Amino acid sequence: MSRVEKKDIRAEVLKRREALRRDEWTSLSSIICRRMSSLTVIFDADLVLGYVPFRNEVDVLPLLRSLLQRGAKIALPKVRKAEHRIDACLVDNLEDLERGAYGILEPRSESRVDPQEIDLVIVPGVAYDENRNRLGYGGGYYDRFLTGLSASAVSVAPAFELQVVPQLPRDAHDKRVDVIVTENRIIR
């Protein structure tokens, strides 16, 4: 499918997501995190790559905090723009962050984690479909990162229902996620 179609879908879904009022964003994020907490794969994970929400992405920070309290190790992505990749860097808390590439909050830590050791990736994105296809911001960072995970690692995408579209264009390099969790349903 064409890049134009992806670009159009991306623009439309971002517009809808960014139109969420603060109270809606907070409430829906909380519902999604509660649904995610009920998944065995979340509860059983020892090493989790999460993310810091950007541009009205689902706020998973409360979930990450509870995983930290439970004893899970948490890593956050650090964008290496020049190399077109992300590194997973361990964090002890979710406050020791700085603005990185694209203005996204990233860990100050350079304590990199081997992607093969990650049990769970909580994957941000712009749009999804019911076949678990994911559309990101267009840089391919997560598509490349997901390729380097162990076969047992699970990818879970928190999303607002407004981000789920009937069908996404898919290219050979696009990676599906294993599970999508919205405020209304879990797509496996």
Mean pLDDT for the chain?
A: 94
Is the pLDDT confidence value at 11 over 50? yes
Is the pLDDT confidence value at 4 over 80? no
Is the pLDDT confidence value at 63 over 50? yes
**Helices marked H in 71-148:** 141-147
How confident is the model at residue 1, as a pLDDT? 43
Is the pLDDT confidence value at 14 over 60? yes
Total number of domains constituting the chain:
1
Sort 18 into a burial class: Cβ within 10 Å, 0-12 / 13-18 / 19+.
exposed
Is the pLDDT confidence value at 3 over 70? no
Separation CA 1–CA 8 (nearest Å) = 12
Q: How many CB atoms lie within 10 A of CB 71?
A: 7
- For 94-106, how does the pLDDT look when each residue is reduced to its tens digit (9 = 90+)? 999 999 988 999 9
How confident is the model at residue 43, as a pLDDT? 87
Is the pLDDT confidence value at 110 over 50? yes
Domain region containing 148: 3-187
Which CATH number belongs to the domain containing residue 139 in this structure?
Answer: 3.40.50.10420
How confident is the model at residue 68, as a pLDDT? 96
- For 123-172, how does the pLDDT look when each residue is reduced to its tens digit (9 = 90+)? 999 999 999 999 999 899 999 999 999 999 999 999 999 999 999 999 88
Q: Summarize the confidence of residues 36-54 as an average pLDDT.
A: 95
Sort 16 into a burial class: Cβ within 10 Å, 0-12 / 13-18 / 19+.
middle
Is the pLDDT confidence value at 66 over 90? yes
